[in-house]
Structure 1
């Protein structure tokens, strides 16, 4: 009922105004004045007992209330032509109470006829009065139909848009779930490749060296056995480093202190694990959002992992520079290099390219055998992004 409270206020105000009009306007007789008051009271009772419930959604009460409203409006005008003001509430209520547009139009015509009949009863059948009644009611009916049809069309469009919005919301939820599932599968595939390319291969080598060490022990060849044990220890340490790197790459990103501090912490970890002298140069003059910093840090992780695994370098430099609309990260090393014209293998560089493509970034790689390697990542920031 609270959703229809303004209709309740509108109806009560209209009834009060009709009572005031009846008191201060001309009436043919005292009996007609009393009849008008009685009709106003009866309409108020009908509204309280039936109309409120019909507005609240009780379908079985809609037509009875509409019929009572039409008859009551005609009766009021029959008591006094000044009470034709009742149409100000009657026409809108018919549109609101009756859900069918066609039935509402018929009810509007019925109301216009009832009020016209009331005019004839109150003012007579003189030709001038009939012409005036026909003109007034025709204008009232046309105005009510035009306004009602316009509002009904707006309501239909609103309902359609609400339905489309619900469908769009459901589709977005389904798409988000599908993207989540795709992301989970993609991450599993990435981890599987990483484990196969690093840990699994290293463990296979450890198994083979263990078997060889057992053979040396069986023949009591201690010197070769000591060499095999040293290799086992070295390989186990390398597997441990690879495992920690894989865990670190999948862990939540620590950006405490910003991208410059995160790069320094990353370089320090790789210094300890690989013994490579890594220098970090950060010239960050533009504030970066967290997503951009995460992308840059992940690219630096992958680049340094490649330096450690493949380059045989003794030193590397990580340089981070921000300009007005671009952030650039470069990683260079003095390692053995490789032929960058050959097809890329593994997951590292293709995965980095895919990550950058999501943020409109780009990757450039330069390397020649014996000449070291230079990797450069650039992505837009701010307005450019």
Structure 2
């Protein structure tokens, strides 16, 4: 708060206060000035003093418009302090020329505390104005030495009240400025936070889409390339029937990839899960893998008959895990058989993919697919285990919570 106190009591803080509240002060000034002039001018004794009173009010109005209002709008200390000179002189003249001129003090004191650049300046201007009013009153009534203490005493009471009220109003105004500054800072922080969250959301969505493309389209295209290479090899040796079978598989994979692409664009569930049966989707995946690679795949499902359906987001993660695991078997394992096992428990589902291929070597790097699968498992509140040894096959175990009962 120390820094804010420094900001709000210097000229810069006062300039911000002027610019925030000028419209309201304009309205109050013109209304009070008009009311005061309406009562004061007729009360002036004689045409000469009435003319002086009108001139003083006119000078005050012009001074406010050209110096006070303009100075506050432009944040000019020179203009606002020049206006305070006009205010003190005009109020003193009106107090001398009209019996009700002292009413103008209600306008003058409030104007002093609005345009003063500090508390000390407000006190000094208030004392100066009160001194001028005392002198003007004494001249107007031609006060004797015995009457001066009474005039001074009344003016001192008004002075103390004006200073106390001015200090309180200034405190309230400065506290309002502090709150306004804090609100501005809060709004700026909220805007920055919203922008940061938006950027994080965009990056997260890009990462999600990239992972979906890797898990679906990229793997499908890999299958198409490998089947096309096999077809070319079989055609080269005259095995047209086998080549035609491979071409049919290429068409099937391409159609499935097209369906995956449309589902990805439309944010639908994967086509393999359209019927909501995860076990059936895994069996179809295993059959297609066996047909494309010649590697037999056994799919087992261990789930009670009363098990609730697997939530769609969990089913998608399990299916993507199976696809990624089989893609790694195709590319790296050189396996002669693969076993997929889906197990439902009370509050989780587990997918195990085991092959009898070359296994894991100490220097094998973890690819993008495995990293993406691990991130998918972590985001779903689950875990991924990848185990195996050189020449002894690989085991992938994916566990995800379902939040339901088996």
TM-score by length of 1: 0.64
1:161 aligns with 2:161: no
Q: Aligned match of 2:66 in 53, 62, 80? A: 53
**Per-residue Cα deviation, 1:338-379 (whole angstroms, up to 9, x for no partner):** 473989x6757965874x8xxxxx899xxxxxxxx996458x
1:138 aligns with 2:143: no
Contact 2:342 2:351 in 1 (8 A): no
Number of the residue aligned with 1:148: 166
1:189 deviates by 1.4
1:125 deviates by 5.0
Matches within 5 A, 1:241-260: 241-249=259-267
Matches within 5 A, 1:21-100: 22=43, 33-58=46-71, 59=76, 60-79=78-97, 82-100=100-118
Q: Aligned match of 1:236 in 254, 272, 278? A: 254
1:184 deviates by 1.6
| Matched position secondary structure for 2:198 | helix
Number of the residue aligned with 2:229: 211
The root-mean-square deviation of aligned C-alpha atoms, in Å, is 4.1
Residues 200, 79 of structure 1: alpha-carbon distance in 2 compared, 3 angstrom cutoff: closer
Q: Which has the higher contact order (CA 8 A, sep 6+)?
A: 2
Number of the residue aligned with 1:340: 350
**Per-residue Cα deviation, 1:56-88 (whole angstroms, up to 9, x for no partner):** 223444334322332333334334555322212
Counterpart CA distance in 1 for 2:374 and 2:46 is 93
Counterpart CA distance in 1 for 2:255 and 2:371 is 22
TM-score by length of 2: 0.61
1:198 deviates by 2.2
Residues 198, 128 of structure 1: alpha-carbon distance in 2 compared, 3 angstrom cutoff: same
Aligned residues: 300
Greater shift, 234-243 or 87-96, is seen at 234-243
Counterpart CA distance in 2 for 1:144 and 1:63 is 19
Counterpart CA distance in 1 for 2:260 and 2:313 is 12
| Matched position secondary structure for 1:108 | helix
1:47 deviates by 2.3
List runs of 5+ in structure 1 lacking aligned partners.
24-31, 252-264, 278-298, 313-334, 357-361, 365-372, 379-385
Contact 2:80 2:115 in 1 (8 A): yes
Counterpart CA distance in 2 for 1:267 and 1:218 is 35
Residues 305, 346 of structure 1: alpha-carbon distance in 2 compared, 3 angstrom cutoff: farther
Counterpart CA distance in 2 for 1:271 and 1:126 is 108
Counterpart CA distance in 2 for 1:274 and 1:154 is 67
Number of the residue aligned with 2:30: 8
1:137 deviates by 0.9
Matches within 5 A, 1:110-125: 110-125=128-143
